[in-house]
Chain A
Amino acid sequence: MTSFPVLTSLLLLPLAGTGLCLLFRRKPDLCRALTLATTLVMLALCAWVFCQQPDAAGWYLREDYPWIERLGARFTLAMDGLSLLMVVLTAFLQVIAVLISWHQKKHPAFFYALLLLMEAGILGVFLASDLLLFYLFWEVMLIPMFFLIGIWGHGRRVYAAVKFFLFTLAGSLLMLLAIIGLYLLHGKQTGDYSFALEALKHTDCGAWEPWLYAGFMLGFLVKVPVVPLHTWLPDAHTVAPAAGSLDLAGLLLKTGVFGILRFAFPLFPQSAAASLPLLAFLALVGLFYAAWCAYIQGDVKRLIAYSSVSHLGVIMLGLAAANVLALEGAILLMLCHGLTTGALFALVSMLRRRTGTRELAKLGGMWQEAPIFSCFFLFFALASLGLPGLANFSGEILVFAGTFQVRPLWGALAVVGVVFAAAYILRMVQELLWGERPAGRPWPDLTTLEVVALAPLVFFTLWLGLYPETFLAHLHLPVKILLEQAAPLVAAHGGLP
């Protein structure tokens, strides 16, 4: 392992990029080039880490610096297989985000600066191994998204931005309380006041455990989002700009699931085990409820937003099943969902730029008009409905298999969800691509730049579908360790009713 602080530079690079963008805000072209360069360098760094081997405890890299010594908070970053995959996804999607907002007209410099700031925030969430540091990044990541929606959004953007902010803030305040509670309990017990995740894992919380766990979980579940805490998501997506939607679906939602796996489960294994039936129930309800909601939507973007909630239901079910198959499947599905749903959102914003509307009722016959666009759209739609050989299927089938091993009935029920997915996806494809196109101006097909932005997504969707082993290989160890640390989860044997 090198002594070069890779993780810290992963955080500092985008921050530097943010600074430079603000500095050169009068030269949008330069800002854009800088942003792209930054994201590409980050991606290269991540690719380098991806090729490394973890040590015996599962860490690829660890960096630890003193920070707020009086509180016992340290600047600890750590990367295991789980965070590695999330970081790689972040770095990858952020390149795409820059590409699809290439022609940003409104305050381009600030826009790119915020994109980079958000990247720093999200990466911090995935890397922080100190609870206070984690909380800091958790809040940092909100602010750029708030502005992205509030300034660059369409329609009722302020309403949606405030709603997004309030929901997640309410959740994260509860989490902050829980963090402080845990910190005090641990300090009282051991005399060592510390926010370090590894130390806090050994805290005996006694009667407080369910409350602390609930505090953490509420923060995360809002972000996932789990029905009925999901209503901020469709609104946020409806108004968010393309890159915002991509980041929201591809990355922000993943931070919730990631938080559960990294913090909530290992910190409070007893309560977690007890909560699994409830989680499974919420997951299944969400899966079907959101699918039904998606089916009836008239706005393509809202439809995809609800489909996102439905997919996250599958992921949450995987978490609730809590065995090797289901957990690996759930994490894999996070990657897949990030790619496919992100791509769909990108495509929808390309659509809107051409047609000026996202109302299915006013659209149709796209294949005639724009075959390349339609080809891409169909491809990602199929991936989203779980066609084997494309990304989502690999994750879903693992979740289903894992769940079925624990509780057959719930697994079987979840499988029924794929018909629902087919129903709303095919309805969307039907009304968008087929039929005659409505009268009006002709729409141009995708530009080369847009194809360039989408092609890598196609490539990785196929890769994840056909050879997920590349990514699963990084997950075997972290999932094993997680299940060892949170032994009650296994003892509860999924705990589903």
Chain B
Amino acid sequence: MNAKLLFLIPLLPLIGAGINILFGMRFPRAARGWIAVAAVSASFVASCLLWPLSSGEGTRTVLATWLASGNLRADFGILFDPLAASMTLMVTGVSTLIHLYAVGYMEKEQDTARFFALLNLFVFAMLTIVLADNLLLLFLGWEGVGFCSYGLIGFWYRELKNARAGQKAFLVTRVGDVFFAIALLWLFSASGQLGIPEINAFAGQLPAAAITAIVLLLLAGASGKSAQLPLMTWLPDAMAGPTPVSALIHAATMVTAGVYLLCRLFPLVSLSATGMTAIALVGGLTAFYAATCALAQREIKRVLAYSTMSQIGYMFIAVGAGSVSGAMFHLYTHAFFKALLFMGAGCVIHLCHEENDIYKMGGVAKKSPLVTILFLAGLLCLAGAPLTGGFFSKDGILVAAYAAGGNGLRLAWALGTLSALLTSFYSFRLFFLVFTGPPRSPGKPHPLPTLMRWTLPPLALLGLFGGLFNLPSVWGGHELLHRLLTGSEAKPLVDHATELALTVTAVCLFALGLFAAVGLYRSFPGERPAWYKHFLLHGWQADRLVEWSLLKPFRAIARFCGLGLDQTVIEGTLHGLAGVTQKQGDRTRQLATGRISTYLHGFAWGLVLMLGWFLLEMVKG
């Protein structure tokens, strides 16, 4: 099989985007969406067909040199190993479903050429991250997804609020990108290499302190894209975008790029114990923080946004605990059920007359039983109901974190376990508020386009039975994903009794959360404002903190430079200089009086000066 064919996988969506950018406006509206679907599904088919290339060490192939100067050399190259291949399959597969859904969702929109072009471009950029064989090309994708999410979040740009949310996402993630870029430069100047396998191989030769610093920089970079503390504020606002965008970017793919980066560079990352602990702690803290915020959210998509943040926190815990397969396993199951939940949320919002506020919903179960069942399936996975995909992947992470030992990891484990309880609670809170009881706002439901409904069942099946991909041996499975990624059998991390205890704890926490939600939200409790709800609703006031600590000073300095310094001091000095020159000129002009005696005076003094100078020179010479 020709390895160069691998380039079809990212390039097909790029071509789709190109067609829509150049000619989309002239096509009939329906054609635009189907071009995008065709491009992405072709990419999916290609990655299925090319799957065999990933076996063993994988395939590495280069299309052309991108940038070469001095000792720097970056290629358009692909590294198709099991990690990349499985991620590619997930990204293209889920994207295909989301694109199909989007065709239904955008039926009534006008400006769809832009939408589908950006959606395809996004898939291209994401696949570049996944497949790139060197860090610089990965960085191209990394910034590319940043731009596409900017464009897509602000898709309804006529409301400035949406455009601002896009801008925020771009800027905050770019802050993370800076750290990633510094790590990249550091690795390059230390090793002279940019290739991912080369860097992983070289990592051992770096001094320990440098490795720790680089890992922390990478963590900061990953935090930006994956909305982890402290760069998480953009994700809830990003829900301003159309729902398919939320499903694609803010659930299934882009936000997992950080996790993927850490996994891709795991041989490097794993060398720093401090770095690993930091990763796990950031994950644990974010999982807990976001879960608490989700408790009080009122918009259905914001609940899901915080839950995404929280679930990615789990993936970070897994990486920190040294379990790449655990992180990737949760990444995949999460992608399935979270895409399902977002797309389900799109349906719910449609059924509720474009209402976002869950306090004004209710009674959706009667309107559409199908959507209810599918959404519930997603929630069960999220809450970690026993035997669902989410249960196995989350449980695996907590076991790994527990087994890894060390104070930091134990703390991360404790935070993760606590968050599991909160997750179960807010999941069912969401369910009861949205689906049960009588409808709390009037209005006839919009009919759901067929495409929107029928793209959900495959995801529900994948989410519910996703556990089979990596079923632990305790449950009689063979941990397929682990074997695929590491090429070796999984060793039991803890003894049987401990594992059983941890699993039972997880089940109990799930049940506890469920019962608490039943108790509090089975019937609508009414709006009862409280200070702590307000605090959680606004994400612990993180936005205000950023505004005060960073944005205000930034603007103040900008005003000081642009209006103060530049206009007064620098301009003033120069004008002053000009003024002095003019004054001197005026004074000189006064000398030109026309009186011969003045001139003679000057002439005489000049002569004396010149003679004196000559004499001095002669004496010296």
Contacts and interface: CB of A to CB of B under 8 A. Distances in A.
Interface of A: 166, 228, 231, 289, 292-297, 306, 323-325, 328-329, 365, 367-368, 371, 375, 382, 387-389, 394, 397-398, 400-402, 404-405, 408, 411-412, 415-416, 418-419, 422-423, 426-427, 430, 433-436, 466-469, 472, 475-476
B546 to A, nearest CB: 14
Contact of A401 (B164, B189, B562): B189
Interface string B170-192: 11001101100110011011000
A472 B69 contact: yes
B72 interface: yes
A408 B186 contact: yes
A368 B167 CA distance: 18
A325 B554 CA distance: 32
B143 A387 contact: yes
A224 B185 CA distance: 27
A236 to B, nearest CB: 14
B257 to A, nearest CB: 14
B562 A388 contact: no
Nearest to A436: B158
Interface string B549-561: 0000011011111
Name which of B72, B144, B185 has the most chain A CB atoms within 10 A of its CB.
Answer: B185
A296 B561 contact: yes
B157 interface: yes
Contacts of A475: 69
Given A404-B186, A418-B181, A468 B67 contact: yes
A387 B147 contact: yes
B69 A400 contact: no
B208 interface: no
A329 B167 contact: no
A11 B571 CA distance: 37
B182 A394 contact: no
Contacts, number: 134
Contacts of A367: 157
Contact of B160 (A295, A435, A469): A435
A289 B158 contact: no
A400 B578 CA distance: 38
Contacts of A329: 69
B190 to A, nearest CB: 10
Contacts of A412: 182, 185
Given A166-B578, A469-B67, A434 B160 contact: yes
Name which of A367, A388, A412, A467 has the most chain B CB atoms within 10 A of its CB.
Answer: A388
B393 to A, nearest CB: 33
B140 interface: yes
A419 B174 contact: yes
Given A296-B562, A419-B171, A436-B158, A231 B557 contact: no
9 contacts: A365-B158, A387-B147, A388-B139, A404-B189, A419-B175, A423-B171, A434-B163, A472-B69, A476-B69
B69 A398 contact: yes
B66 A430 contact: no
Nearest to B164: A430
A306 B561 CA distance: 11
A476 B69 CA distance: 8
A194 B561 CA distance: 46
B188 A401 contact: yes
Contact of B72 (A289, A325, A423, A433): A325
Interface size class of B (residues with CB under 8 A): 35 or more
Nearest to A293: B562
B574 A231 contact: yes
B248 interface: no
Contacts of A297: 562
B154 interface: yes
Interface in B129-156: 136, 139-140, 143-144, 147, 150, 154
What 10 A-B pairs have minimum CB-CB distances, sorted nearest first?
A296-B562, A434-B163, A324-B70, A388-B140, A293-B562, A434-B157, A292-B561, A404-B185, A325-B70, A295-B558
A422 B143 CA distance: 12
B198 interface: no
Given A416-B178, A435-B157, A436-B158, A402 B70 contact: yes
Interface in B543-577: 554-555, 557-563, 565-566, 570-571, 574
Nearest to A466: B66
B118 to A, nearest CB: 11
Contact of A231 (B65, B164, B185, B571): B571
A102 to B, nearest CB: 24
Nearest to A472: B69
Contacts of A415: 178, 181-182, 185
Nearest to A326: B70
Interface in B31-71: 64-71
Name which of B66, B154, B557, B565 has the most chain A CB atoms within 10 A of its CB.
Answer: B66
B189 A408 contact: yes
A289 B177 CA distance: 22
Contacts of B565: 289
Contact of A422 (B157, B163, B171): B171
Contacts of B68: 469, 472
A294 B182 CA distance: 24
A117 B325 CA distance: 67
A423 B171 CA distance: 7
A302 to B, nearest CB: 9
Contacts of B178: 415-416, 418-419
Interface string B376-397: 0000000000000000000000
A348 to B, nearest CB: 18
A402 B64 CA distance: 23
A328 B167 contact: no
A389 B139 CA distance: 10
B171 A426 contact: yes
A426 B160 contact: no
Contacts of A231: 566, 570-571, 574
Nearest to B140: A388
Given A387-B144, A408-B189, A296 B563 contact: yes
B559 A296 contact: yes
A389 B140 contact: yes
Name which of A293, A436, A467 has the most chain B CB atoms within 10 A of its CB.
Answer: A293
Nearest to A296: B562
